[in-house]
């Protein structure tokens, strides 16, 4: 998803005077994007991929279960192609997209056997919190009953939580400042204004 970054007034004034964006300017903007992406990534990890869920959908937050999603969140280095700078923040965990954009998961029918615990009389043991549910047996349990099951095909609708897009939007003003500072630093060096030509 594209986001619009608002540069500072000083940077906009310099850009307006340039007929074309020079290579040094593109490189500076790309460096600024890389720095700003790290700010956004830290915000996403801290506010949207942390804590013990589940959280309300409107919080745009996912609780930590295995830490795989948070651990795989990354920013790709910015690339310059002509007058275009591409940059991205994402995740390579297979379930990241369904949490970000929402959608429907199609579950196919499944059959198998489950091992359930029994008491000394061979009766199924029941969960303390819900007497309608049996207790699954571990491989070490000796009093068990194997039961065939068939799970019907069904759909699970996942809501759009957008932790990445929300985390980026929350720091969008910082993108403009960071990118502008990097660009103006390069412009000042190019024009000898800081003595480091």
Distance CA 44, CA 2 (A): 17
Write down the pLDDT at residue 154.
Answer: 94
Mean pLDDT of the chain: 92
The pLDDT tens digits of the residues spanning 112-137 come to: 999 999 999 999 999 999 999 999 99
* CB 85, CB 105: distance < 8 Å: no
All structural domains of the chain with their residue ranges: 9-100+158-190, 109-152
Res 83 pLDDT > 50: yes
Give me the sign of the Cα torsion angle 121, 124, 128, 132.
Answer: negative
pLDDT band at 192 (very low <50, low <70, confident <90, very high): confident
Contact of 69 with 62, CB cutoff 8 Å: yes
Confidence (pLDDT) at 1: 66
- pTM of the predicted model, to two decimals? 0.77
Query: Average pLDDT, stretch 106-110?
Result: 94
Asked if residue 197 has pLDDT above 50, the reply is: no
């Amino acid at each position: 998803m594209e986001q619009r970054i608002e540069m500072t007034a000083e940077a906009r004034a310099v850009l307006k005077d340039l007929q074309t964006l020079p290579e040094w300017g593109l490189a500076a903007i790309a460096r600024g994007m890389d720095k700003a992406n790290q700010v956004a990534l830290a915000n996403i990890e801290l506010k949207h991929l942390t804590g013990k869920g589940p959280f309300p959908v409107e919080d745009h937050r996912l609780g930590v279960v295995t830490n795989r999603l948070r651990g795989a969140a990354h920013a790709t280095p910015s690339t310059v192609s002509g007058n275009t700078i591409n940059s991205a923040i994402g995740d390579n965990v297979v379930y990241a997209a369904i949490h970000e954009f929402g959608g429907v998961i199609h579950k196919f029918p499944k059959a198998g056997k489950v091992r359930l615990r029994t008491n000394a009389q061979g009766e199924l043991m029941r969960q303390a919190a819900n007497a309608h549910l049996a207790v699954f047996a571990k491989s070490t349990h000796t009093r068990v009953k194997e039961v065939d099951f068939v799970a019907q095909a069904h759909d699970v609708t996942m809501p759009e939580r957008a932790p990445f897009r929300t985390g980026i939007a929350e720091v969008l003003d910082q993108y403009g400042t960071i990118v502008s500072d990097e660009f103006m630093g390069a412009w000042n060096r190019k024009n000898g204004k800081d003595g480091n030509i």
